[in-house]
Amino acid sequence: LAKTTQPISMDSYEGQEVNITCSHNNIATNDYITWYQQFPSQGPRFIIQGYKTKVTNEVASLFIPADRKSSTLSLPRVSLSDTAVYYCLPVGSNTGKLIFGQGTTLQVKP
């Protein structure tokens, strides 16, 4: 399984764009890159998933370069309610199993 590296924590201010980068140097050919968000005392929530290039939904954008060794989650104009832990997970298309790492704790300040 691909090992991921992402910053332990990040700080931002309301209204700013936040980019969280995840490294996954040994990602497998059939792995999708999936991001989850988790608020305190709640279960994780799926945010976005992609294979390569750019994916955008109503919550975030995901940028994946051609070599797929990293990915960047972009949150536009964050608010205080975006304070959470964000997890980057490569997921095999044939297993669907999630291996959670430490994630990135994003603190949004007023």
Partner 1 sequence: EADIYQTPRYLVIGTGKKITLECSQTMGHDKMYWYQQDPGMELHLIHYSYGVNSTEKGDLSSESTVSRIRTEHFPLTLESARPSHTSQYLCASSEYLPPGVQYFGPGTRLTVT
- Minimum CB separation of residue 16 from partner 1 in Å reads 25
Q: Which is nearer to partner 1, 18 or 44 (CB)?
A: 44
Report, in Å, the least distance between residue 5 CB and partner 1.
14
Q: Report how far residue 66's alpha carbon sits from residue 106's, in angstroms, rounded to the nearest whole number.
A: 27
Using the minimum distance from each CB to partner 1, give the nearer residue, 16 or 49: 49
What does the binding site for partner 1 look like in residue numbers (CB under 8 A)? Answer: 32, 34, 41-46, 49, 89, 91-103
Give 81 or 94: the residue with its C-beta nearer to partner 1: 94
Sheet harboring 104-109: ordered strands across? 9-13, 104-109, 84-92, 31-38, 45-50
Q: 3-class DSSP state for residue 80?
A: helix
Cβ at position 93, least distance to partner 1 in Å = 5
Task: Report the SS3 class of residue 66.
Answer: coil
Report the sign of the C-alpha dihedral through residues 6, 65, 91, 48, in that order: positive
Q: Could you give phi then psi for residue 82, rounded to 5 degrees?
A: -85, 0
Q: How far is the CB of 81 from partner 1 (least distance, A)?
A: 17
Residue with smaller CB distance to partner 1, 12 or 28: 28
